[in-house]
Amino acid sequence: MVDSTTGLDPDDFTTLRLHESEDRVHAVLDRPEVRNAIDADMVTELHTICAALEAAPRILILSGTEVPGRDGTKKGLFASGADIGQLKERRRDDALRGINSTIFDRIAKLPMPVIAALDGFALGGGAELAWAADFRLGSESLKVGQPETGLGIIPAAGALWRLRELAGEAIAKEMLFAGRILDAQEALEHGLISSVHPSDELLSAADALADRIATQDPLAVRVTKQVFAMPRDAHPHVDNLAQAILFESEEKFARMQAFLDRKKRGSSS
């Protein structure tokens, strides 16, 4: 059924499963047969979601699906990386097109926040997809890293600059140059994720974070995200301009009046 707000039809997607509500879209990476490897079809479907969320902004949650473990049990997995079969066939012109870097940058620039719920492995392109999110929550079984140099390439879809910004130069170099894989606690200590949860509580934690975001004024959240991404020399000028817009919004007046009314009732009780 097509969502009337976004125009998204879950039946049109083959590599992602969609769950939608009024204030969020949850996209589940769903290629368990190849450990959720990111292929050209998934990139196309992520572009479709971005187009819808640019037109009608909502929160985006990204997560993986369960895959069969070696012991026969189901285990959570975000994404094992880019599809190596397709990656092996790509040549110079494909690299210059920035196939994965373009979609990850588009995800990073979505109007409303993006939450990545990372269970199990988030490697290579899967990790770079996670770095593009505004928030990353991890499960206790998380393993995250950039093994690209072991395959004779570089992580060219954001890790070479986002990792340094997120975690600092020292650990970024270990991950990028030496292929170090971090577990959940290490990722938390280095600021790559904001919290750790049991696998069966991870999506509830992502929804709880989305709930907190959804209680804020959507326009104020959108403006805050845009201004936050501005270069240092744009501040404070862009802050003042953004605040000038919000100072005239009806939502600002309504929310501030509601705050004053609650304060007045509290002081008189």
Residues assigned a catalytic role: 128, 148
Task: Identify each DSSP E strand in the chain by its residue range.
Answer: 16-20, 24-29, 59-63, 65-68, 74-77, 114-118, 121-123, 135-139, 143-145, 181-183, 195-197
How far CA 127 is from CA of 136, 155, 160, 216, in Å, comes to 10, 10, 12, 28
Sheet containing 121-123: order of strands: 121-123, 143-145, 181-183
What does the alpha-carbon distance between residue 224 and residue 57 come to, in Å, rounded to a whole number? 14
Q: Tokens 């079969």 correspond to what residue?
A: 85
Burial of 23 (0-12, 13-18, 19+ CB in 10 A): middle
